[in-house]
């Protein structure tokens, strides 16, 4: 009965995700073209090209074609993986540029997802287990304070004090320009030092929500009958804590799964502030230059990751809490 109910719910979610995906495809095509300006003119002005170059680029990039023809070409490029050439990095292909930038984004955002999740869950677990204590108050108050701080403001402060004034960490880029590495360890150390400020900024501002949710989940479960029964039969406190923590993990772990879907979209502000050469910074640059092919490819990947992350979150609910009746959920 449960298996049938879960499958029905997941099938509905899959169909809904497909509908959302096709709606996103249409929006993805319309939004970049709704912005004022001509990509050919922007590129010509940037490189001081003659006026006739604008007409040549417009014809070559088919910017003068009817919208329905552009849309058909756009759909074909999305599903064939032939995303064409970048306007701002012409004649390099979009695929080449995206694959060059994507590993940096995955490295940075993957690291922050781990640090945010571990920091939030561990602190929330401690606060919930020691509810009402000074430790609980300290963790809760600090979490509320950092949660209220705008991310970009904290990132700029860290960049100024730890990077510019104290010179502890590099303030931008992913590698030191012109650096010569004598061993893989030197290369890894340089990469990690450039990641330090972005990871620290994201972790400090994002861990709070996971800590507060984990704390509240722990407190709710500590009042359940199974906790009183476990203690009544003489189970050690460490064993009781493991049982409570395992059940309390459902909300924050689900949030982490959904957060993974925003690994591209969530990187735009971070990578722009720190000039980190990932996909988020590429999206920002492409908006400035009206680079339609790059924007289409980037937003396509963004929508796919978000949709998949939400589907994964539903599967996690099935795995962590089989008592959930999906048929009763919206």
CATH number for the domain that contains residue 279: 1.10.3720.10
> What is the domain range of residue 183?
2-34+65-328
Is 283 within a domain? Answer: yes
Residue the block writes with tokens 């400035």: 288
pLDDT for the residue 320? 61
Q: Compute the distance between CA of residue 267 and CA of residue 261 in angstroms, rounded to an integer.
A: 11
pLDDT for the residue 330? 42
pLDDT for the residue 37? 74
Successive 10-residue mean pLDDT values, the chain, 330 residues: 63 83 86 78 76 78 82 85 84 90 92 93 94 93 91 92 94 92 94 96 92 93 86 87 87 79 78 93 89 86 81 71 50
Q: Compute the distance between CA of residue 204 and CA of residue 215 in angstroms, rounded to an integer.
A: 17
Is 55 within a domain? Answer: no
pTM for the structure as a whole = 0.80
What sign for the dihedral angle of Cα 184, 185, 189, 192? positive
pLDDT for the residue 326? 45
Is 175 within a domain? Answer: yes
Contacts 24+ apart (CB under 8 A), 299-305: 299/24, 299/28, 300/25, 300/28, 300/78, 301/98, 301/264, 302/264, 302/265, 303/21, 303/24, 303/25, 303/28, 304/21, 305/260, 305/261, 305/262, 305/263, 305/264
Residues 6+ positions from 30 with CB-CB distance below 8 Å: none
Contacts 24+ apart (CB under 8 A), 7-10: 8/326, 8/327, 9/314, 9/326, 9/327, 9/329, 10/311, 10/314, 10/315, 10/318, 10/326
Residue 6's CB is within 10 A of a number of other CB atoms, namely 19
pLDDT for the residue 79? 81
Cα-based distances in Å from 271 to 13, 95, 101, 253 = 32, 20, 11, 25
Is 50 within a domain? Answer: no
Is 48 within a domain? Answer: no
CA angle centred on 308, ends 305 and 310, rounded to 5°: 110
Is 46 within a domain? Answer: no
Q: Compute the distance between CA of residue 158 and CA of residue 154 in angstroms, rounded to an integer.
A: 6
272-292: burial string, b at 16+ Cβ within 10 Å, e else: bbbebbbbbbbbeebbebbbb
Is 41 within a domain? Answer: no
Is 51 within a domain? Answer: no
pLDDT for the residue 12? 78
pLDDT for the residue 322? 55
Report the number of distinct structural domains present in the chain: 1
């Amino acid at each position: 009965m449960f298996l049938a109910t879960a499958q029905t719910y997941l099938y509905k979610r899959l169909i809904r995700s497909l509908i959302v995906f096709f709606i996103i495809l249409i929006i993805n095509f319309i939004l970049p073209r709704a912005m004022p300006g001509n990509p050919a003119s922007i590129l010509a002005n940037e490189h001081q090209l003659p006026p006739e170059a604008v007409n040549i680029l417009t014809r070559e990039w088919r910017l003068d074609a009817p919208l329905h023809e552009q849309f058909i070409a756009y759909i074909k490029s999305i599903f064939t993986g032939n995303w064409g050439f970048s306007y701002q990095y012409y004649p390099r292909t979009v695929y080449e540029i995206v694959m060059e930038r994507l590993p940096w984004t995955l490295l940075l955002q993957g690291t922050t997802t781990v640090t945010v999740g571990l920091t939030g869950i561990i602190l929330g677990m401690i606060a919930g287990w020691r509810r009402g204590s000074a430790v609980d108050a300290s963790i809760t108050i600090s979490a509320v304070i950092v949660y209220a701080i705008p991310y970009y403001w904290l990132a700029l402060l860290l960049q100024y004090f730890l990077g510019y004034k104290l010179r502890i960490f590099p303030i931008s880029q992913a590698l030191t320009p012109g650096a010569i590495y004598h061993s893989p360890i030197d290369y890894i150390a340089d990469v990690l030092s450039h990641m330090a400020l972005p990871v620290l900024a994201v972790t400090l501002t994002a861990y709070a929500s996971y800590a507060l949710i984990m704390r509240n989940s722990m407190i709710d479960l500590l009042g359940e009958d199974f906790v009183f029964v476990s203690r009544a039969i003489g189970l050690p406190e460490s064993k009781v804590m493991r049982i409570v923590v395992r059940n309390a993990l459902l909300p924050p772990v689900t949030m982490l799964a959904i957060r993974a879907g925003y690994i591209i979209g969530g990187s735009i502000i971070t990578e722009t502030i720190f000039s980190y050469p990932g996909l988020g910074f590429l999206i920002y640059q492409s908006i400035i230059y009206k680079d339609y092919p790059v924007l289409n490819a980037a937003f396509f990947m963004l929508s796919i990751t978000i949709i998949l992350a939400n589907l994964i979150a539903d599967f996690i609910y099935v795995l962590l809490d089989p008592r959930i009746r999906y048929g009763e959920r919206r």
